Every structure is written in C-alpha cells, then in structure tokens.
A and B are shown apart, each in its own frame.
Chain A
Amino acid sequence: ETGVTQTPRHLVMGMTNKKSLKCEQHLGHNAMYWYKQSAKKPLELMFVYNFKEQTENNSVPSRFSPECPNSSHLFLHLHTLQPEDSALYLCASSQDPGVDTQYFGPGTRLTVL
C-alpha cells in the first residue's frame, strides 16, 4: 500500500464523454502530480500542484482539466478526448515539490474509443 490511491483503476470512454479521475493521498504531503505513461515513452509530467495551487502545466491540452480542492485530493477532468490519449494516468505526491521523493498511486488505465 503506497498511501496514494486512485479511482477508477480502469476506464473506457468515448470521445464525447466527460469523466473524472480521482487521486487521494494519505501521507500528509503538500505537492501532488499528474503523469501520463504511454507505451515506449518516458513518463510525461502533466500538472503539479503545491499547497493546492497549480505550479506547473506542461503544455497539456485543455481537454484535460485538473482540480485540487485540498492538499489531499487531486482530480483530472476529461472531456472530448482523442484515442491517442489512451494511456496509464499516474498520480503522485511528495512532501514538498522542490526536494522530496515522489510516491505514486496505482494509476488509471484509460482507453478512449
């Protein structure tokens, strides 16, 4: 058990659907991250939140919309996705965005039809 949970673990959606991914960390960390992991590509950082404030948006298309209501919860809202958005979406947290090791959740395997 890593202390970072993600739901759902698997998601299949059509290109016109709206869905949300949820991440929760039970570690008392201040920073949270969304990553995209695709086959044959390195982990891609999407968003960073520090104390609920977004500090990094790594040129992510607007069809991905993050939300961080508090330091323990992070959402990724999905709307009108493309098939190439199919990937494993990983959430991570760390005590502080500048220094500490990141701890990952189990990920959501997303398939866009």
Chain B
Amino acid sequence: EDKVVQSPLSLVVHEGDTVTLNCSYEVTNFRSLLWYKQEKKAPTFLFMLTSSGIEKKSGRLSSILDKKELFSILNITATQTGDSAIYLCAADPYAGNNRKLIWGLGTSLAVNP
C-alpha cells in the first residue's frame, strides 16, 4: 500500500533556529514529491521535487529528494514566527491522467519569539 510518513509530527522551536522536516515514502511508480505549507486553512505550494540530489531553494526554505533512500527533507533556516504552520508532504504516483496524491499527516511547526 502506498504511504507517506512525515516526522516529527510536531515541533516547537525558537526564532532563529534551523529546522529539518522529514518525509519518507513508499509509492509505486513514483513520479514526484511535493511540499505544501498550511497556515490556518489553505495549503500553499512550496516545492515539487522529481530528481534525486538536486536542491530546490526559496528564500530560507530548501528541499532535497533522495530517490534511493525514498525520502525528502525540508529545511528552514533562521526561522521566524511566520513560519509557524503545518508542513504537508505528498508523493505523486504515476496513475495515467489522474493525479491522486498520497499525503502525509503533516508536521506542525510552532516558532516562538
């Protein structure tokens, strides 16, 4: 059965800390892995990773995929209170024309001032 496991489930840090969020997956016909940030309600897209070992970066956020060990990490450096959110990871199995993403439970990050 396809699954995505995220760890830790929750994390509390202080502003300025660096955090690493983990996402491991077991998915048949894996195509890509996606990271989303969910504040209050709507998940917003962060990264899509398809190739192993290539880091994607956006400001203080970066992510990398390891297709051999079947995991991805999301790094946030110099955290700010605005980074407090749930970070969702989803794996995309190739399934013809339909996009049925396999979602993790998310990591709830709280950044304290």
Contacts and interface: CB of A to CB of B under 8 A. Distances in A.
A102 B98 CA distance: 12
A98 B45 contact: no
B68 interface: no
Contacts, number: 62
B98 A98 contact: yes
A106 B100 contact: no
Given A40-B105, A101-B34, A45 B100 contact: yes
B98 A48 contact: yes
Interface string A43-84: 101001010000110100000000000000000000000000
Nearest to B94: A98
Interface residues of A, number: 29
A42 B45 contact: no
Interface string B43-59: 11100100000000000
The 9 closest A-B pairs by CB, nearest first: A42-B103, A106-B41, A43-B103, A107-B41, A98-B97, A104-B42, A106-B42, A104-B43, A97-B99
Interface of B: 4, 34, 36, 40-45, 48, 88, 90, 96-106
7 contacts: A31-B99, A42-B105, A48-B98, A55-B97, A55-B98, A56-B98, A98-B96
